[in-house]
């Protein structure tokens, strides 16, 4: 019998992997992955080992989630990251180098803009912000050193739509990589690769995981642009939590039914708000009066549960507390895509003029509560604001 210190290490370890067949992938916890032979280790030493050689390569749950995403989006490959913004940062680093110029749509997620302004600039990459509703006119912004065009459609908070196929046609012609943050539509309601996009990003934090308890991002890439991206991921040894990838796979299984419910309730509430006397505009791409509604209808298969509205009277910013703080069903917090309804509000800045300068935009994440209850909650909140203003 071996000594207790050796038995402590090996007791209960089964090298033979019991063939338990579950529907879902196993969850591994690993830094070290054991090689079958010294020959395999030597291959790994030389970067020639085909299998998983270390924890940073990702385990079964991550591989399954990445494979599922690539398959659903029709991409060549997919990689998962610890957050949406980590996914975005990796894309921007993978395709740019010192002296490059990149074009970013003005309505991108705030931290995406910050990454360009405050990080890429340190490495000599120049960012130019395009009008949010850009299309074929991006041609006029392309320079000899333009490497990448980044779209987000509809964009954060102001929901402008870009003419994606017009932009990707120019990118193709000029040899520029086209990227889209497709978080709002998910792969269900927009397929970027069908529209000629090279790289599609998801903040899986939102609808894919759907329960406001996970941070996760994905990047899916076509065959042409896969190699440089994959190389950058390997250099960073980027990976995602196996537990989170497991939950994201679960999320995919129910995405369609959840999204349909978010879509229906959001449309109902958006239409109701449109007819409310205190509301100035409802910003929702599926409403006929949205400035790029026709583009949305042409390219998208549906709408999700996130949209915004503005009020007619411009109150002092803090006066809005009367409305917001009286809401019972809308949580006040960042992020979206979860089952609980949320509200955010604020005034936004853009590089180009955008029509909502100095205007407070309230953004609603419509969750899975009953839409009549949500309307009633908004109604009582707006009534309180009206009473407050009148008094
Ligand atoms: C939330 C969000 C992100 C970032 O995702 P995190 O997982 O929170 O880092 C990126 N893009 C869009 C459009 C988002 O709404």
How many structural domains comprise the chain? 2
Q: Are residues 77 and 96 in the same domain?
A: yes
- Would the CB of 181 count as within 6 Å of ligand 1? yes
Q: Which of 218, 236, 253 is the last residue of a domain?
A: 253
User: CB of 170 within 8 A of CB of 139?
Assistant: yes
Whether 353 is covered by a domain: the verdict is yes
In CATH, what number is assigned to the domain containing residue 332? Answer: 3.90.1150.10
Residues 358 and 105: their CA atoms lie apart, in Å, by 20
Instruction: Give 303-318 as a DSSP string.
Output: --SEEEEEESS---GG
Nearest CA to ligand 1 atom 7: 84
> Residue 212: left if φ>0, alpha if ψ -120 to 50, beta else—which one?
left
Q: Are residues 355 and 207 in the same domain?
A: no
For 15, which DSSP code? T
- Interacting residues of 289 by C-beta distance below 8 A, sequence separation 6+: 274
For 25, which DSSP code? P
Residues 91 and 174: their CA atoms lie apart, in Å, by 19
Q: Name the one residue in this structure whose structure tokens are 């030493």.
A: 45
Q: Which of 199, 225, 253 is the last residue of a domain?
A: 253
User: CB of 116 within 8 A of CB of 126?
Assistant: no
Residues 140 and 226: their CA atoms lie apart, in Å, by 28
pLDDT tens sequence for the chain (391 residues): 888 888 888 877 776 766 778 889 999 999 999 999 999 999 999 999 999 999 999 999 999 999 999 999 999 999 999 999 999 999 999 999 999 999 999 999 999 999 999 999 999 999 999 999 999 999 999 999 999 999 999 999 999 999 999 999 999 999 999 999 999 999 999 999 999 999 999 999 999 999 999 999 999 999 999 999 999 999 999 999 999 999 999 999 999 999 999 999 999 999 999 999 999 999 999 999 999 999 999 999 999 999 999 999 877 888 999 999 999 999 999 999 999 999 999 999 999 999 999 999 999 999 999 999 999 999 999 999 999 988 8
- Would the CB of 199 count as within 6 Å of ligand 1? no
Residue 367's domain comprises 255-390
Counting ligand 1 atoms within 8 A of each CB, the residue from 155, 183, 211, 308 with the most, and so the one to mutate, is: 183
- Would the CB of 338 count as within 6 Å of ligand 1? no
Q: Are residues 162 and 199 in the same domain?
A: yes
Residues 294 and 291: their CA atoms lie apart, in Å, by 8
In CATH, what number is assigned to the domain containing residue 141? Answer: 3.40.640.10
Q: Are residues 126 and 216 in the same domain?
A: yes
- Would the CB of 209 count as within 6 Å of ligand 1? no
Q: Name the one residue in this structure whose structure tokens are 């008094």.
A: 391
Q: Give the Cα-Cα-Cα angle 137, 138, 139 (nearest 5 degrees).
A: 85
- Would the CB of 183 count as within 6 Å of ligand 1? yes
Q: Are residues 217 and 126 in the same domain?
A: yes
Whether 10 is covered by a domain: the verdict is no
- Tell me the pTM: 0.96
Q: Are residues 215 and 285 in the same domain?
A: no
Whether 13 is covered by a domain: the verdict is no
- Would the CB of 208 count as within 6 Å of ligand 1? no
Residues 152 and 157: their CA atoms lie apart, in Å, by 11
């Amino acid at each position: 019998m071996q000594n207790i210190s050796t038995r402590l290490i090996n007791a209960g370890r089964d090298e033979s992997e019991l063939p338990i067949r579950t529907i879902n992938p196993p969850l591994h916890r690993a830094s070290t992955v054991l090689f079958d032979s010294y020959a395999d280790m030597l291959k790994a030493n030389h970067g020639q080992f085909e299998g998983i050689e270390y924890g940073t390569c990702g385990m079964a749950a991550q591989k399954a989630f990445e494979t599922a995403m690539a398959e659903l989006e029709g991409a060549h490959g997919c990689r998962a990251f610890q957050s949406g913004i980590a996914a975005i940062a990796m894309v921007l680093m993978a395709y740019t180098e010192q002296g490059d110029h990149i074009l970013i749509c003005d309505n991108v997620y705030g931290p995406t803009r910050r990454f360009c302004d405050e990080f890429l600039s340190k490495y000599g990459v120049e960012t130019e912000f395009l009008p949010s509703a850009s299309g074929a006119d991006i041609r006029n912004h392309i320079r000899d050193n333009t490497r990448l065009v980044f779209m987000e459609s509809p964009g954060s908070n102001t929901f402008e739509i870009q003419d994606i196929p017009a932009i990707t046609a120019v990118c193709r012609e000029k040899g520029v990589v086209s990227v889209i943050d497709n978080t709002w539509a998910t792969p269900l309601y927009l397929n970027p690769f069908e529209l000629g996009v090279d790289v599609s990003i998801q903040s899986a934090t939102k609808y894919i995981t759907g329960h406001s308890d996970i941070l996760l991002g994905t990047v899916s890439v076509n065959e042409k642009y896969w190699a440089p991206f994959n190389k950058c991921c390997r250099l960073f040894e980027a990976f995602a939590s196996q537990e989170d990838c497991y939950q994201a796979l679960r999320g995919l299984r129910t995405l369609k039914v959840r999204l349909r419910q978010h879509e229906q309730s959001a449309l109902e509430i958006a239409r109701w708000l449109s007819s409310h006397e205190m509301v100035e505009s409802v910003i929702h791409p599926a409403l006929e009066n949205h400035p790029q509604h026709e583009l949305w209808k042409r390219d998208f298969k549906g709408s999700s549960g996130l949209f915004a509205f503005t009020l007619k009277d411009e109150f002092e910013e803090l006066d809005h507390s009367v409305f917001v703080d009286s809401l019972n069903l809308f949580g006040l917090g960042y992020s979206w895509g979860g089952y609980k309804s949320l509200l955010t509000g604020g005034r936004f800045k853009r590089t180009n003029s955008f029509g909502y300068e100095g205007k407070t935009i309230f953004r609603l994440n419509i969750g899975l509560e009953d839409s009549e209850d949500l309307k009633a909650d908004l109604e009582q909140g707006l009534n309180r604001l009206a009473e407050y203003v009148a008094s």
